[in-house]
Structure 1
């Protein structure tokens, strides 16, 4: 199991990351702003116009440090990967499952995702009282989970997942208790996000998805070959599969907290003429600090029954999936917080 270490997020435009002996150095406006040993971090995330020297890329690949690049919107662009590790037999098993038994794993992932969405809605009602629309959505999501139990058809599973997501986001605006109306949410928009709520969701989904990709590679799995998401060039479909387990629990709850506690404001966003909305640099730094703090929190893992930091959950689930594919576990246990 990887030790939970700090991740380095670089969002200052024009920053330059380079190497000095066994350390990483960040220059801003040609002045040294930060220097730290590479063994103190597990991942580097670069947003927007951040320059990285070829020596750093090779250094990270050699040391197994995840180096990833995103747009200013938080959309994933690329990742530097070192030598492929892990058992080729595990990956061959993964490919066979993807071809012949994908529905088995996809079903439990989708069920866990929908249960987490229900928990977000139920948590809101416990705190703020019942709302007819939300109560109806909770009941409909439960019905969807019941339907999942009796289907082995992958297309049906995908359809149920899409319908559940639409119903969940149809009441998402009700969960925003910040009263100014500046963070109104009508529907999920992705490329690009067209309002502050979608900008935050997309930003954090991209970061968690990249964490999951790194975790899957760490146990020897291929992040691009999934079970729920179809293969598509350039997409880490398996990482997107596992991300479904964490969307509501890790990201949606964090976004709602940031908005409802007014830790982000409308002035923290840039509204472009194209309709795209993105976080300003200063706001991005602030929300990343909140995310890093959240990753340090611990829970009792529902399957392992052990205390685990939230930042290690992608690594735990990657390990459990690998154990299932090897035959050590009869079923893959998706993450579902109690």
Structure 2
């Protein structure tokens, strides 16, 4: 069966050979002569399509007309692309974004906040799970030192070196925090060689996709970032904002699912030349957990308001937009407590 978030606003399609169509103001998911589910058109906000699933022209038109964020992924979790309606964003905001992206001082200031937040959130996530682990304690100490260096860093190249060093320390601590490592030794992504890396990769892909949508809703251009270099076809700004949310959303979810045995080695398969990927039931379980994580209520660490992780993605994009238009002096990232 297709997987939906608890509020039915997000539809995850994983049933290979299924078909998404639109009829009488309802989306229908069918396979052969069987109807797997039906949803009112107005209820959907996001659709994630994994693998060999057909989408009719009528359904694509309805998705675009209603601005439903629709992403196409491989069965390994690789993002193929997204279905978009013509947007263009705010001309004034985008002009401010393009000017800022050409200003070395602005790029460095925004990037410092992004990297500092990433290191901080990685440290907080590990500290919550350290117990008596000397490896996690060492990783936390190293990340704290790098966080201080990032706040004072004077160049993008140096900042990227700090961020890369932090990733090494974090994943050594992450490995120590796993109750069931399932072959995980270090972060590897193309292709992921083990279940833990496969879980992380899919979590990062979904997070990145959701941040592209949040950025576009605010009116910014996802392709023009500050920390990540621009290259054709790469949404650099989405990659920028993904950094601070990796630990609170994707990394913590992976740890929780694996350590509580909600994902097991039997939920994955190793394919020659393709690495490790989810089996059907494991994929459904992960997608359901990811949707629940996005919609779970939290207290925003900066504003103190009750919100959700999904809304925090939009708040991050809006915070950056306020900086670019001069309404706020500096970018305020998401910092875990």
Alpha-carbon distance in 1 for matches of 2:85, 2:35: 27
**What residue in structure 1 maps to residue 168 of structure 2?**
166
1:151, distance to aligned residue in structure 2 (A): 1.8
2:177 to 175, 180, 184: 175
Deviations 1:302-335 (A, max 9, x none): 2222111122221111111111211111111001
**What residue in structure 1 maps to residue 197 of structure 2?**
198
Deviations 1:225-283 (A, max 9, x none): 11111112222111111110111111111111111111111111011022500001111
**What residue in structure 2 maps to residue 115 of structure 1?**
120
**What residue in structure 1 maps to residue 23 of structure 2?**
20
1:5, distance to aligned residue in structure 2 (A): 6.5
Alpha-carbon distance in 2 for matches of 1:136, 1:56: 52
Aligned pairs (5 A) from 1:194-233: 194-233=193-232
Indicate whether 1:57 and 2:56 are aligned: no
Structure 1 stretches of 5 or more lacking a match? none
Indicate whether 1:283 and 2:282 are aligned: yes
Indicate whether 1:298 and 2:300 are aligned: no
Q: Is the 8 A contact 2:136 2:177 kept in 1?
A: no
TM-score computed with the length of structure 1 as normaliser: 0.94
Change (3 A) 1:26 1:275: closer
1:71, distance to aligned residue in structure 2 (A): 0.7
Indicate whether 1:69 and 2:72 are aligned: yes
2:155 to 150, 153, 156: 153
Q: SS at the partner of 2:128?
A: helix
Alpha-carbon distance in 2 for matches of 1:122, 1:31: 49
Q: Is the 8 A contact 1:62 1:83 kept in 2?
A: no
Q: Which sits farther off after the overlay, 65-74 or 49-58?
A: 49-58
Change (3 A) 1:328 1:276: same
Aligned length: 329
Alpha-carbon distance in 2 for matches of 1:209, 1:312: 14
**What residue in structure 2 maps to residue 264 of structure 1?**
263
Q: Which sits farther off after the overlay, 183-192 or 209-218?
A: 183-192
| RMSD of equivalent CA atoms | 1.4
Q: Is the 8 A contact 1:16 1:28 kept in 2?
A: yes
Q: Is the 8 A contact 1:215 1:315 kept in 2?
A: yes
Structure 2 stretches of 5 or more lacking a match? 1-6
**What residue in structure 2 maps to residue 307 of structure 1?**
306
Alpha-carbon distance in 2 for matches of 1:54, 1:156: 48
Structure 1 residue runs of 4 or more that deviate by more than 6 Å after TM superposition: none
Aligned pairs (5 A) from 1:92-103: 92-100=95-103, 101-103=106-108
**What residue in structure 2 maps to residue 32 of structure 1?**
35
